[in-house]
Chains A and B, each alone.
Chain A
């Protein structure tokens, strides 16, 4: 089946004329239809995809094709797509149809992407299990050996991760604020990559926490991540935090070696409660890189444990500010009331789900008079210390290796009543987010219960080249070929 090819293979097949983009796209549309019970897509766009595919096939005849020409890809429903509903999986934006295209998706369309549709996510990207979506949870295509319970795909890019894992698309876009690409990638046995803050324009992506949000790819291979990322990045004058820096050729870093490279191992990631199998996999990962000629060096990041509480002040604070725009006046839901204030309150009371409401209230609290210094400024100071610790570590090492998540995917509803337990999912991904560093989760093994586990690599800012170079070796060593039970 054509939907079982990875993106690089599909690209080669199209170039050789083995099949057309229309055939490739039809295979993916059929795959999506066969997996509707997993609730992966908020909006399917098959007609649009077929039109894109036919246009691509025409371009190929003339030889003028882009880097993603004819390749069927899914887009997280947090990216605004012109003329196509963009909901952030929220009741608030349930019928919002943007009259503009996000910079990242515009670049991918320019490169010839075939857009299959918009994937489900945690509401406004706030969550680690995709269970906060207004449109219901996404089901992970993987199951435990020991039972038949539906598992979460992770979040917030849970639909994108599940879509790539179940072979419903060749690749998908995600966004990562505290782990929202890397954690679902680990839970679904795929590659998830968060670039340096500023690499991808945030313009046209529904904002959650603006100093942390970054777009990135979810794919089945490291090479595919490099191919997709190449088209997503680049300076954009419409985003003031977009970095005006040269973009390297990411694929050029693949197939090299890691001889003599120094890989940092931070002891502070041996976090209490981490699954022992994951700690063992981490040891295995260290051994793989040493076998490939790298040197493993202990580094210390002493304030790692404070990253998560700092994040749960900073991200809600920024969210409470960003989400103030949903007032029922210019776009989105409006719920009537007797006074203007009542309209605001009714609209926001009905439009936001429980987790979003909780985070807005938390953010409002830490920003309110009397608490601002004690919580918000304190968290920003801790953030500075964490960023400085990474800078210091990168004076002696080229990359840092850690697990991606402290556990394998858990069951639907298993952590719904455990707020802080749910937040702990991001304990290993949040530090790099606070520091704005590029990082990647690579599938590296299976748990004894048959679930995928990931390892995370982190490098210094704007050094995606080293990240891809090491990730490539990690992928080759791990030889992760397992596939989920549910795939199309």
Chain B
């Protein structure tokens, strides 16, 4: 299946990435090429195969003890923030 410009616009919106009008054509072409190439997987008979999300499937995940194991490091958490105030992250206005 080929990826057209309007599809690139839609997925770029989903991915929250600004893309300039000038780049849309090239991106549509590149993604079409990749998508066309991965479609060779259709040749593989996967009837009844269980999808594999991880090679650690089958090993049971553990739960840690429900105790505080980390914390009290507010300043460190904030140390890389673009903007902070009074010990909080400052983000752009969300509600009008």
* A interface residues (Cβ-Cβ under 8 A, vs B): 96-100, 197-198, 211, 237, 240-241, 243-244, 303, 306, 309-310, 312-313, 320, 324, 327-334, 336-337, 339-346, 348-350, 352, 357-358, 360-362, 364-365, 368, 375, 377-385, 387, 419-420, 435-436, 461
Contacts and interface: CB of A to CB of B under 8 A. Distances in A.
A96 to B, nearest CB: 6
A342 B64 CA distance: 39
B52 A381 contact: yes
Interface string B2-38: 0100011001101111110000000100110111011
Contacts of A419: 30, 33-34
A309 B11 contact: no
Interface in B39-96: 39-44, 46, 49-56, 59, 61-62, 64, 73, 76-77, 79-83, 89, 91-94
Interface residues of B, number: 51
Contacts of B34: 312, 358, 362, 419-420
14 contacts: A98-B80, A99-B77, A99-B80, A309-B37, A309-B40, A309-B41, A328-B82, A329-B81, A348-B18, A358-B31, A361-B12, A364-B14, A365-B35, A384-B49
B52 to A, nearest CB: 4
B11 A346 contact: no
B96 to A, nearest CB: 9
Nearest to A377: B51
Given A97-B79, A343-B92, A364-B15, A384 B56 contact: no
A330 B27 contact: no
B17 A348 contact: yes
A343 B83 CA distance: 13
Contact of B11 (A334, A361, A385): A361
A240 B62 CA distance: 8
A411 B58 CA distance: 44
Give chain B's interface secondary structure class. Answer: loop
Chain A CB within 10 A, most for which of B12, B33, B38, B49: B38
Main secondary structure of the interface of A (DSSP, over half): helix
Contacts of B8: 361
Contacts of A312: 34, 37-38
B19 A365 contact: no
Nearest to B43: A306
B64 A380 contact: no
Given A96-B80, A361-B17, A381-B49, A461 B37 contact: no
Nearest to B20: A349
A368 B11 contact: yes
Given A368-B11, A381-B50, A461-B55, A329 B89 contact: yes
A330 B19 contact: no
A436 B53 CA distance: 11
A341 B18 CA distance: 10
Contacts of A461: 55
Contacts of A360: 15, 17
Contacts of B30: 358, 419
Contact of B54 (A211, A344, A357): A211
Contact of B53 (A324, A329, A342, A380): A380
B93 A340 contact: yes
B81 A384 contact: no
A387 B55 contact: yes
B33 to A, nearest CB: 6
A94 B26 CA distance: 27
A168 to B, nearest CB: 29
Contact of A383 (B15, B38, B52, B76): B52
A303 B17 CA distance: 35
Contacts of B52: 380-381, 383-384, 387
Contacts of B18: 342, 345-346, 348-350
Nearest to B90: A329
Given A240-B61, A334-B83, A381 B46 contact: yes
